[in-house]
Structure 1
């Protein structure tokens, strides 16, 4: 597959960042990978890789999952939105997919940079939480990247850090498992499987590198650099789509 070596570098970087900061491996890998390949071709590679990571983490952290929040609120809304996004994907041309994803990445990175520089979370009215969860599902179906909107939807909840992290990881494991089954049924997983098997060994390497870096670098500065990189990437994706 053309550019596979460069995609491997992006994936290694993405999982190293997640091990250091605890966020966004698939968002980073997809935003960088979209500079090389069409989004629909990337998803059947990145989504199965993600369930390897989230499945392992879910098995370790399951005691901290808020099962009631997960099954009664998040999953019904996000799974419905994910199905809608998956069904919409074939109807959206790459010309529109990349700028839409670029906008999502720009919003996410700008919000996180603002939060890091000003402190505290960005809140919203409670009535907005269900629509945000449903919208997070749509972006997950389109880009396997529902995290930015879901984290925003859950802003201000009473979840402590451990329960928040474990519950989010369980969400990604459930939704990405569903997407992987969908890719198997529509035939896209079969063609992507060789790349998935070749890239899978990079996941533990990225986690190992991230663990090493976590204790040696300023995490706040590192986060700002990563969000700055995402802003540049989002701008490139948006510009490439608008100029196409």
Structure 2
């Protein structure tokens, strides 16, 4: 790492966590994609995942009245928990580079499709329950591999017609639960303790991210909120497919 790399990573973290405070997802996948230009992914995750707990825990508590508990406990968390555990278990045996590129292609397809649909003002088809559960399982698998299940979960939730406040509150509750589980796993496998100085050093950026994000969230109307999510996903997909790395 160069002397400026820790400051660059701090800027990436501030941007990513501001965006998650606005939309309810995206902090780790954005910070991970940008941070991977500086550090290996396996060194970034033990820093980014515990940081995410602080922010999502605060937002989940602050907006707890807007959480859709029926959807969260009945449809989302069971599949996400199973998928996350499976992804964490499979990671050492899988080609992370190939998975990352495949994930980027999937995100680009989804974001492009949804932006085209919004432009054409077309309605969403009703998705069968089994397909939603399968997508949720895939989102959990992605979360176990990259701590980045948000894009697939948002895809799985299209058609549920949650407004922006309920969608954000429900999503941050998912990430708080799953990232608490991943942090415990990092503690048990020995990766958390060496990362704690960086976690504590970057923690003040969460306060700024939440402060900026809460204000931006209130300024978005429903349509602009959806467009912002899909543009965020397009940028994420491009970053995941980018072949370059800084020396």
Q: Which range, TM-score by smaller chain? A: 0.7 to 0.9
Structure 2 spans left out of the alignment, 5+ residues: none
Contact kept, 8 Å, 1:109 with 1:227, in 2: the verdict is yes
CA gap 1:103/1:34 in 2 versus in 1, 3 angstroms: farther
Query: What's the counterpart of residue 54 of structure 1?
Result: 56
CA gap 1:8/1:124 in 2 versus in 1, 3 angstroms: farther
Report the CA distance between 1:56 and its aligned residue. Answer: 0.4
Q: What does residue range 60-79 of structure 1 map to in structure 2 within 5 Å?
A: 60-79=62-81
CA gap 1:56/1:187 in 2 versus in 1, 3 angstroms: same
Query: What's the counterpart of residue 139 of structure 1?
Result: 142
Q: What does residue range 182-193 of structure 1 map to in structure 2 within 5 Å?
A: 182-193=185-196
C-alpha distance in 2, partners of 1:148/1:47? Answer: 17
Query: What's the counterpart of residue 103 of structure 1?
Result: 105
Contact kept, 8 Å, 2:105 with 2:237, in 1: the verdict is no
CA gap 1:95/1:64 in 2 versus in 1, 3 angstroms: closer
Q: What does residue range 110-149 of structure 1 map to in structure 2 within 5 Å?
A: 110-119=112-121, 122-123=124-125, 125-126=127-128, 127-149=130-152
Report the CA distance between 1:124 and its aligned residue. Answer: 5.7
- Asked whether 1:229 is paired with 2:229, we answer no
Query: What's the counterpart of residue 162 of structure 1?
Result: 165
- Asked whether 1:36 is paired with 2:42, we answer no
User: Per the alignment, in what secondary structure is the counterpart of residue 100 of structure 1?
Assistant: helix
C-alpha distance in 1, partners of 2:38/2:101? Answer: 14
TM-score scaled by structure 2?
0.82
Of 5, 8, 15, 2:10 maps to 8
C-alpha distance in 1, partners of 2:84/2:145? Answer: 7
- Per-residue CA deviation, residues 132-161 of structure 1 (Å, 9 max, x unaligned), is 111111001011111111121122125444
Tell me the C-alpha RMSD between the 2 structures.
3.0
Of 91, 94, 97, 1:92 maps to 94
- Per-residue CA deviation, residues 65-97 of structure 1 (Å, 9 max, x unaligned), is 222322222211110000000011122244334
Structure 1 spans left out of the alignment, 5+ residues: none
CA gap 1:74/1:220 in 2 versus in 1, 3 angstroms: closer
CA gap 1:102/1:62 in 2 versus in 1, 3 angstroms: same
C-alpha distance in 1, partners of 2:37/2:104? Answer: 11
CA gap 1:118/1:47 in 2 versus in 1, 3 angstroms: farther
